[in-house]
Amino acid sequence: MERDIFLIGGGQTKFGEWWGRSLRDLIEEAVEAAFKDAPCTALDIDLVVIANMLGEIGSHQAQLGSLASSLLPHRPPAVRVESACASGALALHTACAFLESGRAKTVLCIGAEKMTDASPDAIAEGLMGAADAEVDRPSGITFPGLFGLIAARYMHEYGLTRDDLSLVSAVHHSNACHNPFAQFHSTITPEAVSRSPLVSDPLRLLDCSPVTDGAAACILSTQMPSDLRLRASQVATDTLSLTQRATLTSFSATKDAMGKALTEAEISRSEIGVLETHDCFSIAAIINMEDLGFAEPGRGVEIYRALHRGKHAPFPVNLSGGLKGCGHPVAATGIKQLLDVGKALRKNDGAIGLAHNFGGAAATAAIHILERTHA
Amino acid sequence: MERDIFLIGGGQTKFGEWWGRSLRDLIEEAVEAAFKDAPCTALDIDLVVIANMLGEIGSHQAQLGSLASSLLPHRPPAVRVESACASGALALHTACAFLESGRAKTVLCIGAEKMTDASPDAIAEGLMGAADAEVDRPSGITFPGLFGLIAARYMHEYGLTRDDLSLVSAVHHSNACHNPFAQFHSTITPEAVSRSPLVSDPLRLLDCSPVTDGAAACILSTQMPSDLRLRASQVATDTLSLTQRATLTSFSATKDAMGKALTEAEISRSEIGVLETHDCFSIAAIINMEDLGFAEPGRGVEIYRALHRGKHAPFPVNLSGGLKGCGHPVAATGIKQLLDVGKALRKNDGAIGLAHNFGGAAATAAIHILERTHA
C-alpha cells in the first residue's frame, strides 16, 4: 500500500428481512453504528463510497452517493460503485485508491441492499444481471442454476458427494449462532441440508445464501491510526459468462486477486489466521479453499470436514457465519466481511486475516488483507 | 493534482437510437475508437472504470466492469461507478484517484447507456432513481416535471421569458450540426422551441435532452504524455430531493465543485476558454452559467443571447451541441464532454477548457479542467 490505511471503526445492521425499513433506513443505521465505533466524527469524512447492486430494482433508487453523503452535515463528495456481489469489496478498493492518492484522508465506506421490497422474481432477475445478459440470460438460467452446474461438474470431476457438500452450510450455520448480526441463529445438520428442497440439482435450499436486507459501514483513514491496518487491496476479473471459461471448477479471478494480494502484503499464505470467504452457494466455499491456495484442487472439502469436527484447521473460516449464516445483502457483504475479519483478529489475538468477496460467478474477485498490530 | 494526468486518447459512438445494437456493442465501438486514437495498446491498460446508470433496467446487465474488462486481452481490474447523469464524470474522478495513488498508470474510462431497449415508461422511472425515491417519487413527478418546477420558479424570480429560454436549445442544435457524433443535425429556431409540444409547463419538448443510446471512452495516463493535461477533478453533492434545498434556482453542488476545481487548477475563471456544460433541460444551462460564475444570478440567459447572435461571448459553450444537440446517453455524457473540451481546445488553439456534468437535479456535480499545453 502507498500509505498506511487503518480500519478505525465500523458497524452494521442485523442482517435479515426488514419489511418495515427502507434502503435509506438501513444505510442510516449502519453509518450511525460506524460513527459510534470510530474515534472520529462525521465531519472528519472527506469522501463517501457506497456499494449497492439492486437499488434501482428493489427501491427505485440510484445516485446513492448523494443520498449517503446527505446523512453527513457537510455532504462530502460521494460515489456509488457496483460490481454485483463484490460491490462491497470494490467500495473498499476504491476508497483505498482515494486514500493513497491523498484526495481523501478519512473515507466512509458503505454497503447496503434492500432485497425484500421487490418480488422474488424481480430480485432473481436483478441478480442475473451479474451474469452475461446476452449469453447466459436468454437460456432462462438463474444464479442457483449456474452454481448448480458448477456443483454438478465439480462432483463429476472430483467425486465430491452430496453429504460432503452439506458440511459447508452446517459449519456456517453453527458459526452464525455466535454472531448477533446474523440472519440465522439455528444450527442445521448436514443431513438437514441434504434433505432440504431441491433448488437446482445438486444444490438444495440450504446450500444457498438467502435473500437478505442489510447494510454495513466502515471508516478507513490514513490520519487516525488503529490496531487494524490494511495490508492489501486487490481486484481481478473474469468473463461474465461461465460459457467462456476454461473450467467450471475453479475461479481464476480469485487466484489472480489472491496472488496479487499476497505480493502486495508481502506475506505468505501460511501467515493468514482468519478467513472470511464468499459462500454464496456451498460449492463456492469449497472451490474458494482451493483457489485461495489452502487446499489442492478437489480437496477443499477436507477443510470443511475438519471445521465440522470442531477443528480450526488450518484456521477459522467464516466465523461470522458467512453468507449462508449471516445472510447476503449483496453489496453489504464485502464491507461486513472486513469488519468480521477485524473482530476475529481482536477476539483471537490474531495477526493477519483475509476477506474474499466475489461478484456473480467470480467475474470479479477482491481480496483484502488486514493486519492487527499490537501497540 | 498529485501527479500529471494526461488525456491520451478517446472515442465515441455516434449518439442516437441504436435499435440493432446492444449495450455491449456500444461499449465495444467506443473502446475501439479510443484505442485507435491513443498512442497505447490495450495491454497498457491497468484499470477499467465504467460509468453506467440504466444497465439493469435497460439491458438486464450489472457488473459492467467485468464485461468491459473482458474486451481487453488481459482483463485488468475493473469497477463500475454510478452517479446518475454525472456517472461519466465520476468515472473520470475515480480514475484520477487510482492514477494519483499509483495503483494504475493508464486507465480506460468508459461511459455507456442503452436507453431504447426498455419501454419509455421504464426508462422514465429508471431516470427518476436520480431523485429521492422516498420523498419525490411518491408524488408521481418525473424529471421533466422537476425541471419544469425549477424553470417556473426561475421565471417567477427573475422574469425570464419563454422566448428567452428557447434560445438555449436553438444554440445547442446549431452547434450540433458541426458534430458528426451528435444525435441531431438540424437547426431549430427559438420560435420552434416555443411552439413545440408542452411536456411540463413551462418546459416544451425541445427544451429537453432526448433519450439516446451511446458510449464514449477515453484513456487517461500518468505515463504517456499528450498535449492535454487534467488540471482539476472535483465532485460535490447536494440533497437528492429538491424539497430539501434552500433554493430551486441555483445548484450548490455546481458552485462547490467549481470553487474546488479552480483552487485545484490554480487558475481564475477568466482563463477558461471552452466550456461543455450539462444542459439536460434548457433551464439548467442558464442556471449553470450563474452557478459556474460566468453570469450574475438571473442573467445567465445573456450569454445565450450573445451566443445566439453568433458571438462566442464570453467563450464558446457546448460547441459539441451539448446534451440537447448530441443526445444524452446518461453515463456517456460526462466522458464525451471531456473529449469535446479537448477537441475544442485543439481546434481553437485554446489553453484551458472545462467540463461540467451533473446528476439528477445536480445532487452530484463534477468539474474537470483540461489544459492544452503547447509542445
Q: How many C-beta atoms lie closer than 10 Å to residue A312's C-beta? A: 13
Instruction: Look at residue B178 and tell me if it is in a domain.
Output: no
For residue B312, what pLDDT is reported? 72
- Closest by CA to A81, choosing from A122, A121, A109, A61, is A109
Peptide bond into A202 cis (omega under 30): yes
* ipTM value > 0.85: yes
Instruction: Look at residue A97 and tell me if it is in a domain.
Output: yes
Mutation for testing the A interface, residue in B56, B110, B141, B243 having most A CBs under 10 Å: B56
Q: How many C-beta atoms lie closer than 10 Å to residue A16's C-beta? A: 18
Is B97 within 8 Å of A93 when comparing Cβ atoms?
no
Q: Across A13-163, where does the E strand assignment appear?
A: 47-51, 78-82, 106-113
Backbone angles phi, psi at B213, to 5 degrees: -100, 145
Residue B125, pLDDT > 70, answer yes
B213: β partners: B16
Q: Give the closest of B53, B61, B94 to A129, CB-based.
A: B61
- CA nearest to A71 within chain B: B239
Residue B374, pLDDT > 80, answer no
For residue A375, what pLDDT is reported? 58
Q: Which residues of B are catalytic?
A: 85, 328
A130 touches chain B (CB under 8 A): yes
Is A65 within 8 Å of B90 when comparing Cβ atoms?
yes
Is A83 within 8 Å of B75 when comparing Cβ atoms?
no
- Closest by CA to B65, choosing from B21, B101, B100, B98, is B98
Q: Which residues of A are catalytic?
A: 85, 328
Interface of A with B in 276-315 (CB under 8 A): none
SS3 A107: strand
Transcribe A216-244 into DSSP letters. EEEEEESSS--SEEEEEEEEEE--SSGGG
Mention every residue, 6+ apart, whose C-beta is less than 8 A from residue A323.
Answer: A172, A209, A278, A279, A280, A333
Mention every residue, 6+ apart, whose C-beta is less than 8 A from residue B143.
Answer: B124, B127, B128, B130, B131, B280, B360, B361
Mean pLDDT on B273-279: 97
Instruction: Look at residue B261 and tell me if it is in a domain.
Output: no
Cα separation, B213 vs B22, in Å, equals: 9
Q: Give the closest of B75, B134, B240 to A63, CB-based.
A: B240
Looking at the complex, report in whole angstroms how far the Cα of residue A39 sits from the nearest Cα belonging to chain B: 25
Instruction: Report how many domains make up chain B.
Output: 1
Q: How many C-beta atoms lie closer than 10 Å to residue A91's C-beta? A: 33
Instruction: Look at residue A154 and tell me if it is in a domain.
Output: no
Looking at the complex, report in whole angstroms how far the Cα of residue B229 sits from the nearest Cα belonging to chain A: 18
- What pLDDT, in 10s, does the model give residues A32-56? 999 999 999 999 999 999 999 999 9
- pLDDT digit string (tens) for chain A, length 375 residues: 889 999 999 999 999 999 999 999 999 999 999 999 999 999 999 999 999 999 999 999 999 999 999 999 999 999 999 999 999 999 999 999 999 999 999 999 999 999 999 999 999 999 999 999 999 999 999 999 999 999 999 999 999 999 999 999 999 999 999 999 999 999 999 999 999 999 999 999 999 999 999 999 999 999 999 999 999 999 999 999 999 999 999 999 999 999 999 999 999 999 999 999 999 999 999 999 999 999 999 999 999 999 999 887 788 999 999 999 999 999 999 999 999 999 999 998 899 999 999 999 999 999 999 999 975
Contacts of A359 in chain B (CB under 8 A): 63, 66
- For the four alpha carbons of A265, A271, A273 and A274, in that order, the dihedral sign comes to positive
For residue B375, what pLDDT is reported? 58
Looking at the complex, report in whole angstroms how far the Cα of residue B341 sits from the nearest Cα belonging to chain A: 23
Is A56 within 8 Å of B56 when comparing Cβ atoms?
yes
Q: Give the closest of B24, B79, B84 to A63, CB-based.
A: B84
C-alpha cell at B139: 408524488
Q: What is the C-alpha end-to-end distance of chain B, expressed in Å?
A: 20
Mutation for testing the B interface, residue in A21, A82, A85 having most B CBs under 10 Å: A82
Instruction: Look at residue B352 and tell me if it is in a domain.
Output: no
Interface of A with B in 59-98 (CB under 8 A): 59-63, 65-67, 69-70, 75-84, 90, 93-94, 96-98
Average pLDDT, chain B: 97
- Residue B33 pLDDT level (bands cut at 50, 70, 90): very high
Cα separation, B162 vs A126, in Å, equals: 43
Q: Give the closest of A80, A98, A125 to B83, CB-based.
A: A80
Residue B190, pLDDT > 70, answer yes
Is B65 within 8 Å of A240 when comparing Cβ atoms?
no
- Closest by CA to B184, choosing from B204, B212, B225, is B212
A101 touches chain B (CB under 8 A): yes
For chains A and B, CB pairs below 8 A equal: 194
Is B240 within 8 Å of A67 when comparing Cβ atoms?
yes
- Closest by CA to A28, choosing from A214, A221, A220, is A214
Pairing of the two strands B364-372 and B352-359: antiparallel
Contacts of B66 in chain A (CB under 8 A): 83, 237-240, 359-360, 363-364
Peptide bond into A314 cis (omega under 30): yes
Is B101 within 8 Å of A2 when comparing Cβ atoms?
yes
Contacts of B104 in chain A (CB under 8 A): 97
Transcribe A152-199 into DSSP letters. HHHHHHH---HHHHHHHHHHHHHHHTT-TT-S------HHHHHHSPEE
Is B59 within 8 Å of A133 when comparing Cβ atoms?
yes
For residue A311, what pLDDT is reported? 80
CA distances from B171 to A266, A290, A332, B150, B328 (A): 58, 61, 46, 21, 16
Instruction: Look at residue A176 and tell me if it is in a domain.
Output: no
Burial tier of A42 (Cβ tally within 10 Å: 0-12, 13-18, 19+): middle
Is A364 within 8 Å of B66 when comparing Cβ atoms?
yes
Mean pLDDT on B333-342: 98
- For the four alpha carbons of A51, A55, A56 and A62, in that order, the dihedral sign comes to negative
Residue B2, pLDDT > 90, answer no
Would you say A297 and A290 are in contact if contact means Cβ atoms under 8 Å apart?
Answer: yes
Looking at the complex, report in whole angstroms how far the Cα of residue B82 sits from the nearest Cα belonging to chain A: 5
SS3 A284: helix
Cα separation, A309 vs A301, in Å, equals: 12
Contacts of B137 in chain A (CB under 8 A): 60
Instruction: Look at residue B347 and tell me if it is in a domain.
Output: no
Range of the domain at B38: 6-119+212-221
Interface of B with A in 235-254 (CB under 8 A): 235-240, 244
A134 touches chain B (CB under 8 A): yes
Instruction: Look at residue A18 and tell me if it is in a domain.
Output: yes
- CA nearest to A59 within chain B: B133
For residue A2, what pLDDT is reported? 86
Is B102 within 8 Å of A134 when comparing Cβ atoms?
no
Q: What CATH number does the domain containing A66 carry?
A: 3.40.47.10
- What pLDDT, in 10s, does the model give residues B300-334? 999 999 999 988 778 899 999 999 999 999 999 99
Pairing of the two strands B106-113 and B47-51: parallel
